[in-house]
Amino acid sequence: MDEFGKFKRQPPEDRRQALIEATLVCLGREGHAGLSVRKISAEAGISIGLINHHYANKDALVGHAYEHLALGLLETVRTQVAAAGPDPRARLSACFQGIFSSAALDRATLRTWVVFWGMIDHSQAINEAHDRTYAVYRTLLETLLGDIHADRKGPRIDARLAAIGLSAMLDGLWLELSLNPTTFARDEAITLCESWVDALCAGAMPRLLVAAAPAKTED
């Protein structure tokens, strides 16, 4: 709103961005129970009528905010991966650095995630946003793991299953580090992930190896 208490005119894309940012602020401050379209409207400086023009209901807006937060953090990770150069192993290490970045470990970000998770049981929009963003996250890990093994000789890994396992490890370490950073250090979390990948590459997880196709025989 402007200094006279009137709502400002903004381009549609700017309005949507302002609404997403306002929703994330309100979720962190109010929690799900205290969240309302009126509070989002006041925080964003956008009228309730315009909010209803962009989103069918509050859940749709919150689902969009979830997706925006998740993909924004992933984009930060992708940027670090791209900056690491062509070496597949260095790119995966850069991914770990991004996942355990200060922005990802921010306490306010954790509070917002906790609110989102509390809405999973009764919000289809949140569930759909989670499914889409987790698929992007898992695909990134799967690609990075697959690139490592494509660059090496030896048995091929099941990159999909390995990515599921690695994402579970990353998420668990991220959550505990966010809840209590005195339990272990960020560098120790990264060391654990690096060691897991080293063991995978060394063949220490035979159940994650894909059996070679049988050789064709001449009739």
Domain ranges in the chain are 1-55, 70-208
* Residues whose CB is less than 8 angstroms from the CB of residue 8 and which lie 6 or more positions away in sequence, other chains included: 1, 2, 45
Secondary structure (3-state) at 77: helix
Q: Do domains 1-55 and 70-208 have the same CATH topology?
A: no
In which band, very low, low, confident or very high, does the pLDDT at 13 lie, cut at 50, 70 and 90? confident
Handedness of CA 179, 185, 191, 196 (dihedral sign): negative
1-55 has which CATH code? 1.10.10.60
| CATH H superfamily, domain 70-208 | Tetracycline Repressor, domain 2 (1.10.357.10)
Handedness of CA 33, 35, 38, 42 (dihedral sign): positive
Q: Say if residue 5's pLDDT is above 50.
A: no
> Is the distance from CB of 209 to CB of 156 less than 8 angstroms?
yes
Q: Say if residue 92's pLDDT is above 80.
A: yes
Structure token pair of residue 88: 């597949």
Interval 29-34 mean pLDDT: 80
> Is the distance from CB of 192 to CB of 200 less than 8 angstroms?
no
Distance CA 59, CA 101 (A): 29
* Residues whose CB is less than 8 angstroms from the CB of residue 71 and which lie 6 or more positions away in sequence, other chains included: 133, 136
Interval 181-190 mean pLDDT: 96
Point out which residues pair with 209 in neighbouring strands.
157
Interval 15-35 mean pLDDT: 86
Cβ-defined contacts of 123-129 (< 8 Å, 24+): 123/59, 123/62, 123/63, 124/59, 125/59, 125/60, 125/62, 125/63, 125/64, 125/66, 126/59, 126/62, 126/63, 126/66, 128/63, 129/63, 129/64, 129/66, 129/67, 129/70
pTM: 0.84
Q: What is the pLDDT of residues 127-161, one digit of tens each?
A: 999 999 999 999 999 999 999 988 777 678 899 99
